[in-house]
């Protein structure tokens, strides 16, 4: 399963990436920040879902969606925008947008929206492979890139230091509280097939740290 995210804000793009991974752990996600790059990525490898910001540095994201609709009438298209007025919705009506995500968005709303639009997967297949014995072990096995950087200056060193001492979830909570990248990665892990309990979504950092 492939997902394309067109978003020039690195923090928002990373958060959306981690939300998708929390719902579909095996998804291959491409994040790009310009319309031109997104068009090239689509031509190289079409995807099963596109999440696109409306306003990009090199033009409106609707250029990408128009191009895709000419080739595929079924693929779900999600448009991120601060323009939720009726005129804006009517403007893109011909593109048959599957869902609008209004800024600033709420994570539970985005989770529900994307879960409905993403192709379903075999949970047993998604959970295959070695499973860490604890959440702390899971965090320790992740590289800087897998933890969802960019991080604020000094945060990676603090995170690595936490991994070299007995687990202290309070310190991890304090660090993640000011780090969107860490919070997003913890939420993604807590909602994954390996750690999710009973299918209930984990929606906060405190819940994520209690989930293991």
**The pLDDT of residue 123:** 46
Residue-wise pLDDT for 1-18, tens only, equals: 899 999 998 888 988 998
Distance of CA 155 to the CA centre of its chain: 21
Average pLDDT over residues 42-60: 92
Banded pLDDT at 82 (limits 50, 70, 90) = confident
* Angstrom distances, CA of residue 89 to CA of 2, 93, 102, 195: 26, 6, 11, 38
Banded pLDDT at 46 (limits 50, 70, 90) = confident
Q: Are 61 and 6 in contact (CB under 8 A)?
A: yes
Give span(s): CATH 3.40.50.2300, the chain: 2-121
Residue-wise pLDDT for 95-150, tens only, equals: 999 988 888 788 888 999 999 999 886 444 444 455 555 555 555 555 555 544 45
Pick the CATH number of 2-121 from 3.40.50.2300, 3.30.590.10, 3.40.50.11540, 3.30.70.580: 3.40.50.2300
* Angstrom distances, CA of residue 112 to CA of 23, 47, 94, 118, 123: 10, 20, 24, 10, 18
**How many CA within 13 A on the CB side of residue 40?**
7
Residue-wise pLDDT for 59-76, tens only, equals: 999 999 999 999 998 999
């Amino acid at each position: 399963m492939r997902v394309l995210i067109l978003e020039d804000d690195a923090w928002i793009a990373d958060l959306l990436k981690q939300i998708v991974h929390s719902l579909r752990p095996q998804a291959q996600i491409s994040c790009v920040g310009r319309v031109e790059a997104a068009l090239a990525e689509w031509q190289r490898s079409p995807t099963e879902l596109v999440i696109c910001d409306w306003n990009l540095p090199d033009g409106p994201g609707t250029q990408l969606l128009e191009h895709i609709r000419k080739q595929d009438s079924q693929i779900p298209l999600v448009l991120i925008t601060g323009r939720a007025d009726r005129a804006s919705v009517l403007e893109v009506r011909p593109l048959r947008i599957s869902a609008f995500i209004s800024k600033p968005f709420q994570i539970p709303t985005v989770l529900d929206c994307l879960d409905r639009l993403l192709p379903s997967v075999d949970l047993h297949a998604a959970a295959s492979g070695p499973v860490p014995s604890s959440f702390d072990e899971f965090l320790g096995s992740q590289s800087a890139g897998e933890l969802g950087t960019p991080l604020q200056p000094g945060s990676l060193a603090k995170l690595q230091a936490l991994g070299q001492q007995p687990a202290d979830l309070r310190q991890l909570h304090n660090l993640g509280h000011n780090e969107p990248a860490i919070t997003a990665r913890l939420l993604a892990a807590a909602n994954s097939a390996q750690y999710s309990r009973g299918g209930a979504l984990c929606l906060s950092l405190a819940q994520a740290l209690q989930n293991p």
